[in-house]
Amino acid sequence: MIITLKDGSQREYTEPKSIIDIAFDISEGLARAACAGELDGRTVDLRTVVEKDSSLNILTARDPEGLSAMRHTCSHVLAEAVKRMRPQAKLTIGPSIENGFYYDFDTEPFTREDLDNLEKEMKKIIKEGQKLEKFTLTREAAIRLMEERDEPYKVELIQELPENEEISFYRQGGDFTDLCAGPHLMSTKPIKAFKLISSSMAYWRGDSSKAQLQRIYGTAFASKEELNAYLEHLEDIKKRDHNKLGREMRLFTTVDVIGQGLPLLMPNGVKIVQRLQRWVEDLEDNEWGYIRTKTPLMAKSDLYKISGHWDHYKDGMFVLGDEETDKEVFALRPMTCPFQYYVYKNDQHSYRELPLRYSETSTLFRNEDSGEMHGLTRVRQFTISEGHLIIRPDQVEEELAGCLDLAVHCLTTLGLQDDVTYRLSKWDPDNREKYLGDEEYWEKTQGKIRDLLVEKNVPFTEADGEAAFYGPKIDIQAKNVYGKEDTMITIQLDCAIAENFDMYFIDQNGDKVRPYVIHRTSMGCYERTLAWLIEKYAGKFPTWLCPEQVRVLPISDKYESYAGEVAKELKKNGVFCSVDNRSEKIGYKIRETRLDKIPYMLVVGQQEEADKAVSVRSRFAGDEGVKPLGEFIEQICREIRTKEIRVEVEGEK
């Protein structure tokens, strides 16, 4: 057989060979660094035997797939260490993930001290250089093995596999064996740089009705230098985490007696959201041709049955009442679309009136799982820049493009345009009962969105099963500091729902015609956007969004009166400001202002008062010198009006 390597060279063998043997044949150094193989484009274990002509690439920890195999092995080392220290702990699953690995255990919670001790035990296992041996069993024998080892979660996993399935295991050293498909390293010895990061609670199979487990997160790299760089990155992440930083900056808080997923926006957070909301509303109403509505926060179940949400989305709604015992059952609204349809239906419309672009700053309610709650990004009550466009079929392309342009404009103004990816969210043809319409409907509507993204030169991915039940979507995605992806903005094409609501317009021939609907957000959820902005700017927002834009610092109490005059002029011009009148030294006040992430501080003393001026220090340029008060007000008002994003000077971090 002929093996074609990555560089195009070939090796010929007269009998089958394992990938690790081929690696040794190429070079002993390569074999020692090998983590996995890429055989005909598929990542496989080093123990895989090649029996025919194939293309082969030996993967090391410098390759993403090779690093993944190393991390997967590291998760098994962790599991063995846990079993050594807590023999009664039950094993569940332990995969490699984007930035490392995790393993879930049924045991008592882990402390940081426990993790440190586990690291020491893992180092012993690695130093022992334990070989990993792969073996397979029949399904029946595999169940028996795991029952003998008292591993009920492994038994459950095996029982779900087909009866004729051959089940693979890896034996690590003499005592530890785990159910696993691989791939894995040949031994534990090549693991050089790893760290256990944290522990948390997790549910078995991600289901809150099932057992609570203890998850340990870890990471591993090819070298200590890479590991140290990643750990430094994690420290930066902790500083940017909106859940921590947002509370420290008194932007929001949560209270147990109010409830999970129901954050309280503090005055500083309200100021930011208020600015965002006023900007978006003015933008939509004055520049993009939207008509504003205000609709109820709840409705009878009858409305949601017409829209289809009762059948497709009821589990995600807060239902008030019981259909079996109550005359009327209500539900808090999870979206605004069916309400706005009745605004449209209140009058008869001609084809000349379309498109009608309805928008609303909508407070919505969704019954998210308690395990999904996180800060401001996953909540049960939130406010959204929601809109629905009622359009003629011939207006689809133009109006979809307009919705995308508006979303990009909002992202660009906020400085977030480079932090997003685009996804065409499609239906799942294998789960047809979940969706309205037939295959032709979905191919047609998905094609409209695909054509738009291609025409706009927008790079995008496609994902089955992510569409709304009534139509496909453009989902604009972003990751938080921990790498978790969320949908920030969505644009949905719906050519089916008008039938449910008997919506129509009168065409040029006097006939009734069903309109199409575009469901969209211009900026998305305000709470989630606030979280995104906190992490993007580490709390140092662009000036126009800052809850406090200027702090006036009198050098001593003799200049408090002038400081008050300066603040009064700033406030008259719409600038958020305060005066620090505390009896503290000016150096202390400057340091505190910098720590509070205020864009501008104005120091005033005898000379500034005499000249009606201010000494300006900013996050962006450091010491900007003395300026007439009027000149500074003109400068900052222009910056706020244009929503300029100034780059921070190095010394002001």
CA 34, 38, 43, 45 dihedral sign is negative
At residue 650, the pLDDT reads 58
C-alpha–C-alpha distance, residues 422 and 435, integer Å: 22
∠ CA 555-561-565, rounded to 5°? 105
| DSSP code for 467 | S
Mean pLDDT of 86-105: 94
- φ, ψ dihedrals at 46, nearest 5°: -65, -20
- Half-sphere exposure for 15 (CA within 13 Å, toward CB): 1
At residue 370, the pLDDT reads 74
Bridging pattern class, strands 54-60 and 2-5: parallel
| pLDDT, tens digit, 9 for 90 and up, residues 151-182 | 999 999 999 998 888 899 999 987 899 999 88
pTM of the model: 0.81
Domains along the sequence of the chain with CATH: 1-59 (3.10.20.30), 63-229 (3.30.980.10), 254-294+333-535 (3.30.930.10), 297-331 (no CATH), 541-640 (3.40.50.800)
CA distances to 70, 92, 103, 508 from 95, rounded to whole Å, are 11, 10, 7, 61
Mean pLDDT of 90-102: 93
Q: Say which range, 25-29, 214-218, 285-289, 499-503, has the weakest mean pLDDT.
A: 25-29
Question: In 10 A of CB 308, how many CB atoms?
Answer: 18
Mean pLDDT of 537-544: 96
Q: Say which range, 70-84, 118-132, 315-329, has the weakest mean pLDDT.
A: 315-329
C-alpha–C-alpha distance, residues 157 and 143, integer Å: 9
Token pair 């993007």 in the structure block, residue:
536
CA dihedral 204, 209, 211, 214 (to 10 degrees): 60
DSSP 94-121: --EETTEEEEEEESSPPPHHHHHHHHHH
Task: Count Cβ atoms within 10 A of the Cβ of residue 164 and give its class: 0-12 exposed, 13-18 middle, 19 or more buried.
Answer: exposed
Statement: residue 327 has pLDDT above 90? no
Q: Helix 112-128 crosses helix 64-85 at what angle (to 10 degrees)?
A: 110
Strand order in the sheet with 166-172: 132-138, 166-172, 176-179
Statement: residue 373 has pLDDT above 90? no
Contact 96, 121 (CB under 8 A): no
| pLDDT, tens digit, 9 for 90 and up, residues 432-477 | 888 888 899 999 999 999 999 999 999 999 999 999 888 999 999 9
Statement: residue 479 has pLDDT above 50? yes
Least Cα distance to 74 among 289, 247, 286, 219 occurs for 219
Contact 402, 270 (CB under 8 A): no
Q: Helix 267-282 crosses helix 526-537 at what angle (to 10 degrees)?
A: 110
Task: State which amino acid sits at residue 462.
Answer: E
Would you state the structure tokens that stand for residue 305, as one six-digit string?
């049955």
| pLDDT, tens digit, 9 for 90 and up, residues 135-153 | 999 999 999 999 999 999 9
Q: Which are the contacts of 257, defined by CB distance < 8 A and separation ≥ 6?
A: none
- Annotated binding residue 242: no
C-alpha–C-alpha distance, residues 607 and 626, integer Å: 10
Statement: residue 6 has pLDDT above 90? no
Mean pLDDT of 356-373: 90
CA 618, 621, 627, 630 dihedral sign is negative
- Annotated binding residue 337: yes
At residue 166, the pLDDT reads 87
Pick the residue with more confidence: 207 or 622? Answer: 622
Task: State which amino acid sits at residue 361.
Answer: T
Percent of the chain past pLDDT 70, that is, above it, reads 99
CA distances to 23, 277, 386, 490 from 525, rounded to whole Å, are 52, 10, 9, 10
| DSSP code for 47 | T
Task: State which amino acid sits at residue 403.
Answer: C
pLDDT confidence bin for 653, thresholds 50/70/90: very low
Q: What is the mean pLDDT of the chain?
A: 93
Statement: residue 651 has pLDDT above 70? no
Question: In 10 A of CB 626, how many CB atoms?
Answer: 14
Least Cα distance to 115 among 87, 81, 83 occurs for 81
At residue 284, the pLDDT reads 97
CA distances to 307, 449, 521, 553, 607 from 514, rounded to whole Å, are 15, 20, 23, 63, 72
